[in-house]
Amino acid sequence: MIEFTNVGLRYGHGPEILRDMSFRIEPGSFHFLTGPSGSGKTSLLRLLLLSLKPSRGNVTMFGRDVGVLDQDALLEMRRHIGIVFQEFRLLDHLTTFENVALPLRVLGQPESQYRDNVTELLEWVGLGERMEAHPPLLSGGEKQRAAIARAVIGRPDILLADEPTGNVDPDLSHKLVRLFVELNRMGTTIILATHELPLLDAFHFPRMQLDDGRVVIND
């Protein structure tokens, strides 16, 4: 599903922050992406989200070389990838329902077409009673569950999560990761970036260890 071959990344004329990355992610797998702060986890996730182009090497996703894709093809491919951020990045002027429905709205779907799906998903993540609330009125855990719901409402094949448990307490962290595990069981490929050791120990999934710009996958 995802294959990196000798991929390197630098910003402008600066030093390479990711080097010689070669790995393969199989469909339906679950990987933790871990490493110390500043090791390049977010940059790697941005490469996987197709919002950055590698400085060198080849990235293949869904069987296609992303380096030769035009803007429209990249956009279409990006719609198969969901993303969850540590800082949630919900739009404060929209309700929880509207935030979660946003990926379908940008595809031009009318509300009548997605209303039931969004409502069901919000129920599933435990926000059925909060769908008319605006993000500033939600707790940290509620915001993160809304962000996860927004990331999966379009039924992406790959779900990326950048420190999704960074702003919630340990108990809630476990519940959120269990949500990702549940999504993984439904077939979604998950790459979850975290540097929280208790989580890594509690859930036994392969780890992509970033160190000094290089990645090592520990099964």
Interface residues with another protein (CB under 8 A) are 49, 51, 71-72, 75, 78-79, 83, 89, 91, 93-95, 97-98, 101-103, 105-108, 111, 115-116, 119-121, 123-124, 128-129, 131-132, 150, 152, 154-155, 182-183, 186-188
Cβ closest to another protein, residue 4 vs residue 114: 114
State the greatest distance between any 2 C-alpha atoms of the chain, in Å, as a whole number. Answer: 50
Q: How far is the CB of 200 from another protein (least distance, A)?
A: 25
Closest separation between CB of residue 93 and another protein, Å?
Answer: 4
Distance, C-alpha 36 to centroid of its chain: 19
- Closest to another protein by CB, 87 or 169: 87
The Cα 211–Cα 114 span in angstroms is: 42
Token pair recorded at residue 170: 């340990």
Q: Which helix (H) or strand (E) holds 158?
A: strand 158-162
- Whole-number Å distance between alpha carbons of 19 and 56: 9
Cβ proximity to another protein, 59 vs 83, nearer residue: 83
Compare residues 112 and 218 and give the one whose CB is closer to another protein.
112
Nearest CA to 7 among 17, 25, 29, 22?
A: 22
Least Å from the CB of residue 177 to another protein: 17
CB of 30 to another protein, least distance (A): 15
Query: For residue 127, what are the contacts with CB-CB under 8 A and spacing of at least 6?
Result: 96, 142, 145, 146, 149
Cβ nearer to another protein, comparing 48 with 213: 48
What burial letters (b/e) apply to 179-215, b meaning 16+ CB within 10 Å? bbeebbeeebbbbbbbbbeebbeebebebbebeebeb
82 half-sphere exposure, CB direction, 13 A CA radius: 29
Nearer to another protein, 89 or 214 (CB): 89
Q: Where do we find the tokens 């990196």?
A: 4
